[in-house]
Every structure is written in C-alpha cells, then in structure tokens.
C-alpha cells in the first residue's frame, strides 16, 4: 500500500459536560472572542451556557448570530468585518453546520485582507488563520476536522465548497448536553444525515484503513442512536452515541471523503432552503441502493449494523437487506420520501446537479459521475 500520513492537530473533548472544559482549551490565551452562534439555539439555552462559562472566566464575547434568512457568504462578510474591527484573536463556532462553516470562514479570512467573494472566485486566504473552536449542536458535519466548508453565495444563490488549510480547527467540543433544541423528528433526520456522510466516506474511492475503522464505527453509533431516539426520545444514551459518532465520522472523513448525497443535499439546501438533514433522510435509501451496485462488498460489510444478516448470504443480498432496513426506519419516522414532496421543480434541479458536480470532493466517488449521471440520480429520488 502507499505511504500513509495523517495529521489532525485539533484538541477534541467528548463527553458529558465537556462544555465546561472549554476554558482549559483557552487557558493563557485570548481575553475576547467572536462567538458565531446559531440563531436557533434560544430554547436550548446553549448560547447562554457557553457565554456564562467564558464570561465567568473574564473573557469578553462578541456574539454574532445574524444568519437567519440570509446567504451564509453575506453572514461571513459581516462577521469578518466585526472580527477585524474588534481585533478579536479567537473565533468560536456554536451550532449546526451553517454556524460552524461561517465560523470556519471567519477564522480563515479575518487575519488578512482577503474577501469571501474572492475566495469563492478562486483566491483563497493566505494568512495564518485565527484559532478556532467548534462546538457542534446537531450531531453531524462531514468537514468537522478536514478544513472544508460550504457557503451559500449571496451573488448567485448557489452553494460553494471551499477548502481552508488543514488544521484550521484548533479545538472541537462535543457535549451531549449541547446536542439539544431539536424536535424528535429533526433529531432523527440529523442522525440520518450524519450516517449518510459516514457511509459515503466508507464507500469512497479515497477510503483507507483508518477511515474504514472510524467510519464503520460511526455508522453503527448513528444507527444505534437513531433506534434509541425512535423508541425512547429522551434517553441520554442516544445523544452520547451521536456525539461519538460525530467525532468518528469527522475523523474518518478527514482522510476519506463525503460523496453524492452530501453534495446534492448541500446544493439543494443553498438554492431552495430545504433543511439539509431532511434532504439526507430522503436521499439515504436511494444512495444505499446506488452504492450497493457500485460497492456491494462495502455495503454488505455495513449490513449487520442495520439488521440481522445471514452469514451465508452473498454481498448483494446483505446489501439489499440494509436498504430494506433503512426504509423501514424511515417509514416509522413518517417523513417525506421523495424530493417532490418539498415542492421542488424538477426542471430547475439540473442546476443543482451542476452545482453538486463542481464540488471537489465529488472526484472521490466510487465511480466517476458526470452532471447527467448526477441529474439521473436526482430524478430517481424525485
């Protein structure tokens, strides 16, 4: 095999009340920070808890949470101006994928004079990033430890994938008590979204022995958390499993790559505003079917995580059982099963296929796909 090299410099804290350890990450460091916070965290009071913890240690927090109903690149532009004006030496991202990616962009852009529009046009920032701490609250982010991020371009309304330098994430804090504020159905959809990214990475042409170990375990934890959530929504074990799955998925995908479902869900979310997790829940069974044809041995290996499998059954049969088991779980959730249920116009989804195919990580699919191939898959899900 080829030589292997892997580097993740982020300090990762995972466990109950890990949020209280955040001052240890910052000890002897900054006295103020930009906090990029998801505006939907009000009821969960996670932003209030984090603010109380850090301000109790004497840190001044400049909260930026103006991200609702606006393209994320516009939010980045405003937050970068705030970071530069305040000369804050630290960025903290708190919330779902959108908040984390905005925070990552702010950390990369704030030290220099580069603009977010210039970055999306092919001129990445060249200065060293500000220290960045990420506190996820929604179980998943396929680029948690890889420096990747997706923004909605305010000029075009389309999604743009950007690659910050590796190691831009200084620390990641995964606290099950912070994974809150979601309804049971939304929490289940977020778990399915996380599982989709992990499955894609496991079947990617870029996979390796490290990613296989991490991502297979992540898939198992996501499915277990989903099953517990379906039966006992308030069981804290589901959130603990989700936190561990989120970390392992981020670790595995840092050396592998997400794929088709992730690309389509980001592209549709940017253009049409449909929540990415809801899209993933619709796409996942069709993606599993597609991967069962291109990488049947990989999906067959995952099948025992979904359901009981006859050890004498062939790879195709085991993979088919995994797909059937996933459809059964989706039936219990009673969520949309087709893209048309979101009232998306099929003729406009050609643009979505073009956007999805442009993402760099689409070069690591199990089989090469053109824009036509991506649109054919979208029509199948539609």
Residue 166 confidence (pLDDT): 81
Q: In the chain, pLDDT over 90 holds for what percent of residues?
A: 74
Residue 285 phi/psi, 5-degree rounding, is -65, -35
Q: Domains of the chain (ranges plus CATH)?
A: 11-178 (3.40.50.1970), 184-381 (1.20.1090.10)
Two tokens, residue 111: 């030290």
Residue 115 confidence (pLDDT): 96
For residue 313, give the 3-state DSSP assignment. Answer: coil
For residue 234, give the 3-state DSSP assignment. Answer: coil
Residue 191 confidence (pLDDT): 96
Average pLDDT over residues 207-220: 96
Two tokens, residue 307: 């359901």
Inter-residue contact 189 to 281 (CB < 8 Å):
yes
Q: For the chain, report the end-to-end CA distance as a whole number of angstroms.
A: 40
For residue 270, give the 3-state DSSP assignment. Answer: helix
DSSP string, 351-382: HHHHHHHHSGGGGGSSS---HHHHHHHHHHH-
Helices then strands, each counted (H, E), the chain:
14, 8
Q: Find residue 174's DSSP bridge partners.
A: 14
Q: Residue 291 belongs to what H/E stretch?
A: helix 276-294
Q: Is the pLDDT of residue 244 over 80?
A: yes
Residue 179 phi/psi, 5-degree rounding, is -85, 70
Residue 108 confidence (pLDDT): 97
Average pLDDT of every residue of the chain: 92
Sheet holding 171-174, edge to edge: 11-14, 171-174, 132-136, 91-95, 32-37, 60-64
Q: Please provide the size of the chain in residues.
A: 382
Average pLDDT over residues 41-60: 84
Q: In the chain, pLDDT over 70 holds for what percent of residues?
A: 96
Residue 1 confidence (pLDDT): 45
Residue 125 phi/psi, 5-degree rounding, is -65, 145
| 17-47: pLDDT as tens digits | 999 888 887 766 678 899 999 987 766 688 8
Residue 39 confidence (pLDDT): 86
Two tokens, residue 78: 């405003």
Two tokens, residue 327: 């459809």
Residue with tokens 């002897």: 28
Average pLDDT over residues 83-91: 94
- Provide the greatest CA pair distance for the chain: 65
∠ CA 106-67-253, rounded to 5°: 55
CB-based contacts of 248: which residues, under 8 Å, 6+ apart? 198, 214, 215, 217, 218, 221
For residue 330, give the 3-state DSSP assignment. Answer: helix
Q: Catalogue the E-assigned strands of the chain.
A: 11-14, 32-37, 60-64, 91-95, 132-136, 148-152, 159-163, 171-174
∠ CA 273-274-277, rounded to 5°: 130
- Report how far residue 87's alpha carbon sits from residue 125's, in angstroms, rounded to the nearest whole number: 17
Band (248; pLDDT cuts 50, 70, 90): very high
Residue 309 confidence (pLDDT): 86
Q: Is the pLDDT of residue 10 over 50?
A: yes
Residue 44 confidence (pLDDT): 66
* Nearest CA among 103, 78, 83, 84 for reference residue 93: 103
Q: Is the pLDDT of residue 49 over 90?
A: no
| 164-175: pLDDT as tens digits | 988 899 999 999
| 109-140: pLDDT as tens digits | 999 999 999 999 999 999 999 999 999 999 89
Could you tell me where the DSSP H helices lie in 125-235?
Answer: 184-203, 209-231
Residue 56 confidence (pLDDT): 87
Average pLDDT over residues 154-166: 94
Q: Find residue 80's DSSP bridge partners.
A: none
Band (376; pLDDT cuts 50, 70, 90): very high
């Amino acid at each position: 095999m080829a030589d292997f090299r892997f580097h993740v410099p982020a300090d990762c804290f995972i466990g109950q009340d890990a949020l209280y350890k955040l001052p240890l990450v910052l000890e002897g460091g900054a006295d103020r920070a930009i906090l990029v916070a998801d505006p939907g965290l009000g009821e969960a009071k996670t932003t209030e808890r984090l603010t109380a913890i850090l301000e109790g240690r004497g840190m001044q927090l400049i909260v930026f949470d103006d991200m609702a109903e606006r393209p994320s690149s516009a939010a980045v532009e405003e937050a970068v101006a705030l970071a530069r004006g305040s000369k804050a030496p630290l960025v903290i991202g708190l919330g779902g994928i959108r908040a984390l990616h905005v925070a990552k962009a702010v950390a990369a852009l704030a030290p220099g004079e580069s603009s977010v529009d210039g970055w999306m046009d092919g001129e990445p920032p060249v200065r060293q990033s500000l220290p960045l701490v990420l506190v996820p609250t929604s179980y998943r982010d396929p680029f948690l430890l890889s420096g990747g991020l997706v923004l909605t371009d305010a000029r075009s309304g389309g999604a743009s994938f950007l690659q910050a330098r590796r190691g831009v994430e200084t620390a990641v804090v995964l606290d099950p008590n912070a994974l809150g504020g979601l309804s049971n159905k939304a929490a289940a959809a977020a778990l399915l979204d996380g599982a989709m990214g992990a499955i894609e990475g496991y079947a990617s042409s870029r996979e390796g022995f490290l990613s296989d170990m991490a991502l297979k375990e992540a898939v198992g934890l996501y499915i277990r958390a989903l099953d517990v959530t379906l039966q006992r929504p308030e069981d804290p074990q589901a959130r603990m499993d989700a936190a561990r799955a989120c970390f392992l998925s981020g670790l595995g995908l840092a050396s592998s790559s997400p794929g088709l479902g992730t690309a389509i869900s980001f592209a549709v979310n940017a253009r049409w505003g449909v929540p990415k997790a809801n899209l993933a829940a619709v796409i996942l069974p069709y993606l599993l079917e597609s991967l069962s044809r291109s990488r049947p041995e990989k999906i067959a290996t995952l099948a025992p995580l979904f359901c009981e499998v006859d050890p004498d059954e062939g790879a195709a049969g085991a993979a088919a059982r995994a797909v059937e088991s996933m459809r059964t779980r989706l039936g219990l959730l009673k969520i949309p099963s087709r893209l048309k249920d979101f009232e998306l116009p099929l003729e406009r989804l050609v643009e979505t296929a073009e956007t999805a195919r442009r993402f760099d990580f689409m070069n690591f699919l199990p089989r090469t796909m053109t824009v036509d191939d991506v649109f054919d898959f979208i029509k199948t899900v539609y």
